[in-house]
Amino acid sequence: MKLNGRSGRTIWFDDNKKHTIYTYDQRKFPHKTEVYEIKDSETAAKAIEKMVVRGAPLIGITAAFGVYLACFETQGDQTFTYVQERINRLRQTRPTAVNLFWALNEQEKVLLENKDLGHYELADLLFDNAVRMMKEDEAACKAIGEYGLSIIEELAATKEDGEPVHILTHCNAGWLACIDWGTATSPIYQAHEKGINVHVWVDETRPRNQGANLTAFELQQQGVPHHLITDNAGGLLMRNGMVDLVIVGADRVSRNGDVANKIGTYLKALAANDNHIPFYVALPSSTIDTAIASGDEIKIENRSDKEVKYVYGKNKAGAMDKVLICPEETPGYNPGFDITPAHLISGLITENGIKTASEEGVSQCFMSVEL
Ligand SMILES: CSC[C@H]1O[C@H](OP(=O)(O)O)[C@H](O)[C@@H]1O
């Protein structure tokens, strides 16, 4: 199955076969496009844990459909209790992206409001709620692009003829992390589609290489000029005037505007700040956690040290392989995210406009009023 760019949503279903949810196995990109079938809530949970699906918005919507599928895993009057248990199981998959908990809370509200429904009626309500959230996320990412486009247009106006706007991004906050469009990539796609000359520096993003495997794959498919760089090259490029703008995604934003995102984001923010380069974070309001005051309260996921000790990729025989890059006995330490403090952030690009990374700005992220 050949993927042709943003050729639809990253998660879908067959109207005639609704007990199966389809997505891509993102561990196989860029070498293979493999559809992954999710037929029950445990498959949904494991797909999130193993990063078959990843990216804050997509994790949330996958979990929401997982709750729907749970309705078919029990009979009779145990539905409410069982579905509640499956919601709690899905909550244990990955701790940092708040979209997971937002989507599960939304499904839990439906469950609690309909305790006495039979599992088919409850399933219909949970399915419709998951589809609603999916469509809202898709629309939010499109709107993020429209607001973020204004930033790129302003920079393009300062460029000599033919000189592109150079944008650095980290990890994958692309359409593969969302339902469509992406968050950080949405302004890039919309600028490119508008004929604005853009070029993207793609951080490879060790250890899982989401930049190399996913963002480079997306941009290549969409025909957006880009170069893959090591995570450590961004500082030099910024110091040498080769970066006009940094846009990254987010997994959780606290009330004061601190941002949790893929490990390495903070270092890019420091370098951007030191070189007076605008550093924006693109996110739907479903990524904001108003329950926490600052980034210090955000739980950082620690993943297996095998991701640090091995490099995963396709060997010459075409099979996915992994190579040990250190002594076997060397222990690794693998925090998956870091915290960028609000004072390093130029602005939050949301579906409700571009807001400041501050208490006031975050509170406005839920309002569609232009300020
Ligand atoms: C648009 S959210 C994308 C966000 O999620 C990624 O993390 P992971 O690939 O581990 O799910 C990364 O932090 C991206 O910025």
Domain match, 244 and 298 both: yes
Report how far ligand 1's centroid is from the alpha carbon of 192 (Å).
22
249 ligand 1 Cβ < 6 A: yes
Question: Does some domain include residue 22?
Answer: yes
Residue having the nearest C-alpha atom to atom 4 of ligand 1: 55
Q: What is the pLDDT along the chain (371 residues), one digit of tens a residue?
A: 567 788 889 999 988 767 899 999 999 999 889 999 999 999 999 999 999 999 999 999 999 999 999 999 987 678 899 999 999 999 999 999 999 999 999 999 999 999 888 888 999 999 999 999 999 999 999 999 999 999 999 999 999 988 999 999 999 999 999 999 999 999 999 999 999 999 999 999 999 999 999 999 999 999 999 999 999 999 999 999 999 999 999 999 999 999 999 999 999 999 999 999 999 999 999 999 999 999 999 999 999 999 999 998 777 777 778 899 999 999 999 999 999 999 999 999 999 999 999 999 999 998 765 54
Both 131 and 154 in a single domain?
Answer: no
142 part of a folded domain: no
Which atom of ligand 1 lies nearest, measured to the CA of 170? 15
Is any ligand 1 atom within 6 A of the Cβ of residue 54? yes
Q: Could you identify the atom of ligand 1 that is nearest to the CA of residue 250?
A: 15
Inside any domain, residue 141: no
Q: Where are the alpha helices (DSSP H) in the chain?
A: 41-49, 56-70, 79-91, 98-113, 119-156, 185-193, 210, 216-222, 234-239, 265-274, 306-309, 359-364
Task: Please name the residue that has the structure tokens 């293979």.
Answer: 32
Strand segments, DSSP code E, in 303-367 are: 310-314, 320-324, 337-340, 347-350, 353-355
- 210 has binding-site annotation: yes
Same domain assignment for residues 172 and 298: yes
Ligand 1 touching residue 173 (CB < 6 A): yes
| pTM for this prediction | 0.96
Q: Tell me if 210 CB under 6 Å of ligand 1.
A: yes
Say which amino acid occupies 237: L
Cα–Cα distance, 248 to 272 (Å, whole number): 12
In a domain, 60, yes or no: yes
Closest atom of ligand 1 relative to the 54 alpha carbon: 11
- Exposure string (b/e) for 315-351, b if CB count within 10 Å is 16 or more? eeeeeeeeeeeeeeeeeeebebbbbbbbebbbbbbbb
Secondary structure element (H or E) that encloses residue 20, with its range: strand 17-24
| Residue 44 annotated as binding site | no
State the pLDDT at residue 314: 73
Residues 159 and 179 in one domain: yes
Output the domain CATH number for residue 318: 3.40.50.10470
Residues 207, 346 within the same domain: yes
Find the 317 Cα to ligand 1 centroid distance in Å.
30
Tell me, yes or no, whether 9 and 91 share the same domain: yes
Q: Final residue of a domain: which of 111, 136, 161? A: 136
**Closest listed residue to residue 286, CA positions, set 16, 116, 58:** 58
Please give the number of the atom of ligand 1 that sits closest to the Cα of 287. Answer: 2
152 and 128 inside one domain:
no
Residue 152: predicted pLDDT: 98
The answer to whether 251 is a known catalytic residue is yes
Nearest CA to ligand 1 atom 14: 173
Note the pLDDT of residue 1: 58
* Residue 371: inside a domain: no
Find tokens 């959230």 and name the residue.
Answer: 133
Tally of domains in the chain: 2
Instruction: Find the length of the chain.
Output: 371
- Confidence (pLDDT) at 371: 42
Is the CB–ligand 1 distance for residue 144 below 6 Å?
no
In the set 180, 203, 251, 338, the catalytic residue is 251
Q: Is residue 333 a contact partner of residue 308, using CB atoms and an 8 Å limit?
A: yes
Give the span between the Cα atoms of 312 and 33, in whole angstroms.
Answer: 17
The reply to whether ligand 1 has any atom less than 6 angstroms from the CB of 234 is: no
Query: Which structural domain, as residue segments, surrounds residue 153?
Result: 147-364
- Please say which residue of 116, 136, 156 terminates a domain: 136
- Looking at the fold, whether 76 and 154 belong to one and the same domain comes out as no
Question: Is any atom of ligand 1 closer than 6 Å to the C-beta of 261?
Answer: yes
180 and 234 assigned to the same domain: yes
